[in-house]
Chains A and B, each alone.
Chain A
């Protein structure tokens, strides 16, 4: 018997595992007719997931946490039993901002996030009007990574710059129109901006937080109760992730993702992001095999600590008031147990932690103490006092 499962996605390279599951027959082999629904924005994806128009979604890792905690507009209990992709985001700045940063820096190129951050901070200090930077959604690693990096560089994300949310497909056009001075978005949109000569990549997520869970499969808790259906889906996704991660398949994957019903973007740009060979602008390029990946290093297993990291960022930037109950609820969103139950073979894979760029490792066992190390934050009351 064939089960019909509908999954929503936003056009980004890291929807690859869902696309591969459908197009390479992994879903069909597991008895699933996987229907993929393209969404124009994260708000639209969230709405369709919350009211059950779709069974599951390619979601920003912080999204199921926000929904479970009822931060933002909805309160729906969600779980994330599978990580669809790690890494892939980057910060791109306009050519004008890039030359300003270069003129403030001691080096021509930015070898690490601190160099780039210091140069950006120097520009910010000298400007009369604040820079406008795009990110994709309030509950996204893009927002949290950008804020973390800015703060580490001495730029307050709520006082010294203006952050605006823009859905990925509109990001490059916003830079072209001069509505933003830079942005943090997922692949392949940074590479597209570089290819069109609009800006330069200055930092990647893989430099800031190596091996970070970027997109997860999110589902309402009610769907997760249907264990057999979920297990078939996760097994299909695991096989699809292994296929998508293999460099031998990258050309076929890029060709498939390039189709209009998925990304509708040039195949060679997608292929370059899959291989981690990034043109970063001004004639330079980098090679980072772990820029974006789908399966290796135990990528698909969710970790409880990932939910707590999201909770910590929400508290740091005043999206939520700190509370033990919220902390506990956040820790229950990323369900490695559901993953391991469904994909027994994967239990041997272990996920190794790699320190972030500032060497401040996340202490999930004591979030309040972890947060006290940071000088810069935005109190909950500042955001919510009207």
Chain B
């Protein structure tokens, strides 16, 4: 007997995260599904959610933990008349570590009753690792952004020092770096206070 494809529904307002997860599930592909194919659906827009979920009739729903539609979903899953098949949150009492890992990663999984545990577990593992990968990506992006800002403010501070001291660009940088080291501060932090102080002085006194 051939197995029906396992239908996975991703619900996430963050399209980038959803794409990363979808790709992860595809790469893991038939391996994770334990012989059966995976069919992946994605819902981004939360309007008319219940009808759209019924339309997909998923075996597994993966949804970000902070999604406000979760209260509505959980209530629907409790009422047999609204859901065609019973759905439970992936909470296996013997496997609370997996639940904790999922919540830590910021994702909830709801699973149709009767699915083989190993099958669900491998999907959940991919999901958790992809949510973490997304977080790392966000974090790197943030770091790149702040590095760029740091560079900008150091340039501004150098210009101020050059003007005040009439020194070269290299000397201005050496002076900034030495002062930062002496005060045990980051050069960007020192540069920020210098730029702020200069702005304050430029604004002039009360008689200005």
A contacts, CB < 8 Å to B: 40-44, 47-48, 51, 53, 72-75, 136-138, 158, 163-167, 169-170, 319, 382-386
Report whether A51 and B74 are in contact in the complex, using a CB–CB cutoff of 8 Å: no
Residues in B lying within 8 Å of A, measured CB to CB? 65-72, 74-76, 78-80, 85-86, 88-89, 91, 93, 99-100, 103-104, 108, 113
Check A74 against B91 for contact (C-beta < 8 Å): yes
B70 & A41 in contact (Cβ 8 Å cutoff): yes
CB pair B71 A385 closer than 8 Å = no
| A157: min CB distance to chain B, Å | 11
Per the bound structure, the CA–CA distance linking A386 and B79 in Å amounts to 10
Nearest CB in chain B: distance from A9 CB, A = 15
- Would B66 and A44 count as touching, CB distance under 8 A? yes
Tell me if B72 and A47 are in contact (CB < 8 A). Answer: no
Q: How far is the CB of B131 from chain A (nearest CB, A)?
A: 14
Asked, given contacts A44-B65, A164-B75, A384-B80, whether A73 binds B88 with beta carbons under 8 Å apart, the answer is yes
B91 CB contacts on chain A under 8 angstroms: 73-74
**CB atoms of B68 and A167 under 8 A apart:** yes
A137 contacts across to B, CB distance below 8 A: 71, 75
Pull 8 A–B residue pairs with CB atoms less than 8 Å apart, ordered by A: A41-B69, A44-B65, A48-B103, A163-B75, A165-B72, A165-B74, A166-B71, A386-B80
Q: Give Cα A73–Cα B74 distance, bound, in whole angstroms.
A: 9
CA distance A37 to B86 in the complex (A): 32
Distance in Å: Cβ of A318 to nearest Cβ of chain B = 10
Asked whether, in the complex, the Cβ of A47 is within 8 Å of the Cβ of B86, the reply is no
B192 to chain A, nearest CB (A): 25
The interface residues of chain A lying within 8 Å CB-to-CB of B75 are 137-138, 163-165
Give chain B residues whose Cβ lies under 8 Å from the Cβ of A167.
68, 71
Are B93 and A43 in contact, with the CB atoms below 8 A? no
Task: Tell me whether B103 and A165 are in contact (CB under 8 A).
Answer: no
Report whether A75 and B93 are in contact in the complex, using a CB–CB cutoff of 8 Å: yes
Q: How far is the CB of B83 from chain A (nearest CB, A)?
A: 9
Q: Is the CB of B70 within 8 A of A43?
A: yes
Inter-subunit contact A44/B70 (CB<8 Å): yes
Among A166, A382, A385, point to the contact of B72 (Cβ < 8 A).
A166
- Least Cβ distance of A328 to chain B in Å? 21
Give B115 Cβ to nearest chain A Cβ, in Å: 14
Contact A386 B78 (CB under 8 A): no
Q: Which residues of the other chain, A, contact B79 by a CB distance below 8 angstroms?
A: 158, 383
Query: What is the minimal beta-carbon distance from A147 to any residue of chain B, in angstroms?
Result: 13
